[in-house]
Structures are given as structure tokens and as C-alpha cells.
Structure 1
Amino acid sequence: MSFDRAHEIAMKHEGFYANNPNDKGGETYRGIARNYHPGWEGWALVDAEKRRLGVSSLKTNQRINSPTLDSLVKAFYRVKFWRRGWFDKFADSSLAIQAYDFYINAGGNAVKVLQRVLNDSFGFSLAVDGAMGRNTVNAVNSVPGSELFEAFKQGRIAYYKRIAKGSNAGFLPGWLKRASMFNYAGGISAVALLAIFVGLWLLNKPS
């Protein structure tokens, strides 16, 4: 599964600029929350645009026309989410895309949901620690992709409903709409699957 394809799909669910007072992440651009990622280099370009326009906050969903900023967004997601989530090791592309999108939205809690689903629905005994690693990836790749996809999707929906309290309540419709847009579309080509298997072999190779 290529990062470019997964990222393209996930970004359809992330807007451009936002500064919702009910969002604990504060000011955001392309889903990157300033309160959680204050050191992101892109904030300098966002602030420069606000100074240029003479405003303290941009309009909701306002896009900044900057190829440099676009590149910083993509680099951020590649390192902070795609690589950290090990999604390139998933043998099923549909599952990788949904997991990547959920991870962007919920961080380690998305991994916990996946681990609980693997334990409760597929008989594994994984540590529910929110950290993606070799054991979780091996479990993901050892069960039918379509079955795990649907169980994971339902777990995702249940998670959203569980946290939709207080200031989060207003976000529930959007979260549910986001989850509902993912439907199983099959796995991947034999060539890509072979590449993943080789990667997993190298991952598990004794040192």
C-alpha cells in the first residue's frame, strides 16, 4: 500500500484552516492541531498568511496557496502517522487506508480499538497499549481482511459514540460520517503483497 494513495484518501476528510473554540486541539490546518503539534514548521507559514491579511484568525476551511506548506503537511503525516502506524506493513490495502485515517483522527486510541477487535473477535491476546508493533501487524495480516475491516469499522463507530460527551458531542455527526465513508474494496495486487511479505520476513528475521 503506497503512502501517496492512502494520504490522498485520508486528506479528503481533513479540511484546511479551522479554529473551533470547542476543539481541544485549538487552531488546525489540514487536521494538524496546534495545541498538540506546536513545533510543526507549517505554523510559521500559517502565521505569515494571517499577518499578510491583517487578521488574527483565517476563515474556516480557508486554504493557503503554498506548495511549501502542502509539502510540510504531507511530510508531517508520512512521519507522524504513516510510518509510526506501520501501515505500509498491512497486507490489505482497504484496511490500511481505514486504519491510517482513524489513526489520524484518534491517535493511539485507534490502535487500541484495532487491538481489542483482534482480541475479542479473532481470539488474539494482544496487549491493548495503543502502540502499533510487530505482534499487532502480524495479527492483522493473519486474519481475513474483509472480516477485520468490518469489525474494525464497527469498533471505530462505537469509540466515537463513547467519547461524544461534553464539548465533543457536536463532533459526533462528522465522525460518524467520516467512518461511514470507508467501505471494503478488496486487498492489493500480488506484486504489492509479495513486497509486504518480504518486509515482514525482514522485520521478523533474527538479528
Structure 2
Amino acid sequence: MANFNIAYQRTIIKIEGEYNPGNGEAETYRGIDRGANPKWPGWAIIDAIKKESPGISVARMNAALAANTQLQADIQSFYKANYWDVLSLDAVSSQIKANALFDCSVNPCIIGVVKAAQIACNAIKQKSVSVDGDFGALTLACINALDEKLFDLAFCAVRQANYYERTRLTPSASQWLSSWLFRSARQLS
């Protein structure tokens, strides 16, 4: 069965990045956007560090944040509860598949992670599941039954098509297209 810590290291630590004080987007840390998650308890810790060290550089801020064990635990709890557990990814039989599903839930397609997975399942195994966005027993069974490399390729293709559509609908998002395409193709590496 899949392991949250492996997926967390791949997506959150290696891809989502560190502290962004709001240059070009909302203030974020490890992909947690203050505007979308204003009540996340980690913001109190971040604000306390900023208050203690006015004018702190981003590099020093990242070092201070990385050294705060409570903050790091809050980040893991946030992603485990809101992204991993919501999809019951512990029940996915392949780490590669769980990595891809977790990453897509964090950086979603315009149709959402579950519909993207269902479309990928149907591309491999004709009409095996309904594309209804419900991560139920049939969707989980189909994902688990498929070859992990074949699922990864199909799921990647669905994600990439959605990212192209996302930039077509919102041209200002095109600045992120290359990073979205890169991250969607990284699961087997």
C-alpha cells in the first residue's frame, strides 16, 4: 500500500517549494496559500518569525521555517488530512499511482483529480468506471488493477490536456504551464 511520507517528500518538499512572501501570487509556504487557507495554524508561527525579525531575507526566513518542528508538523497534518486522507490514498496499491494522485490533488486539473483518474482508467480499460468525480470502491479497484506504468502515462496525458485547457481559459496562468507539465510527468522518475 502507498505511503504518505513518500508522496509528501516528492510533492511538497521537492516541488511546492519554500516561502514566497507574495511575489507574483499570494503569500505561500510549502504550497499553502494564505488567501485560500487563512486559518491554517502555521500562519501564526510564520507571522511570529516575521515579527521577531523584521526585514528578514527570504533565505533566512526559509532556514527559520525549516527549523521549526511545529510548523513542519502542521504542514504534514494539513496535507495528510486535506489531500491524502480525503482520497483514501493509503488504499492505493502502487506508490507511483498514489504519488500521481496526491500531486494532482495538490495542483489540480480543471476537472479535478478523481475525474482525471476516471478518464485515465477508461482510456486504458474501456468504460470501466463512471466519470462522476466520486472516488468510490469501483474507481479505487480500477486504479489498483491497472499496470502502474500504463496508468501513469494515461493519467499524465489527462493532466497535461487539462493544464493546456486551463491556460486557454485563463491566459495569465500560462506562466505556470511549463512547471505544471514538468510536475505531471515526474511520477516514474
**TM-score if structure 1 supplies the norm length?**
0.78
| Structure 1 residue ranges without an equivalent (≥5) | 185-207
Q: Please show how residues 18-97 of structure 1 align to structure 2 within 5 Å.
A: 18-20=20-22, 22-23=24-25, 26-55=26-55, 59=58, 62-63=61-62, 64=65, 65-97=67-99
Higher mean alpha-carbon deviation, 82-91 vs 113-122, is at 113-122
Say if 1:183 and 1:128 are closer, same or farther in 2 by CA, change over 3 A: same
**4+ residue runs of structure 1 moved beyond 6 angstroms?**
none
Q: Secondary structure at the match of 1:84?
A: helix
The answer to whether the Cα contact below 8 Å between 2:19 and 2:58 also exists between their aligned partners in 1 is yes
Instruction: Report how far residue 145 of structure 1 moved.
Output: 2.2
2:8 matched residue in structure 1: 7
Say if 1:51 and 1:148 are closer, same or farther in 2 by CA, change over 3 A: same
State the distance in 1 between where 2:185 and 2:60 align. Answer: 22
1:17 matched residue in structure 2: 19
1:144 matched residue in structure 2: 147
Q: Secondary structure at the match of 1:103?
A: helix
The answer to whether the Cα contact below 8 Å between 1:27 and 1:34 also exists between their aligned partners in 2 is yes
| Structure 2 residue ranges without an equivalent (≥5) | none
**TM-score if structure 2 supplies the norm length?**
0.84
2:175 matched residue in structure 1: 170
2:184 matched residue in structure 1: 179
Instruction: Report how far residue 182 of structure 1 moved.
Output: 2.2
More helix by percentage? 2
Q: Secondary structure at the match of 2:87?
A: coil
1:109 equivalent in alignment to 2:109: no
Q: How many residues align?
A: 181
Q: 1:98 aligns with which of 97, 100, 103?
A: 100
- Per-residue CA deviations over 1:136-175 (Å, capped at 9, x if unaligned) read 1111112222211111111111111111232211011111
Q: Secondary structure at the match of 2:176?
A: helix
Higher mean alpha-carbon deviation, 57-66 vs 84-93, is at 57-66
Say if 1:61 and 1:109 are closer, same or farther in 2 by CA, change over 3 A: farther
What is the identity, as a one-letter code, of the residue corresponding to 2:10? I
Paired-residue identity, %: 28
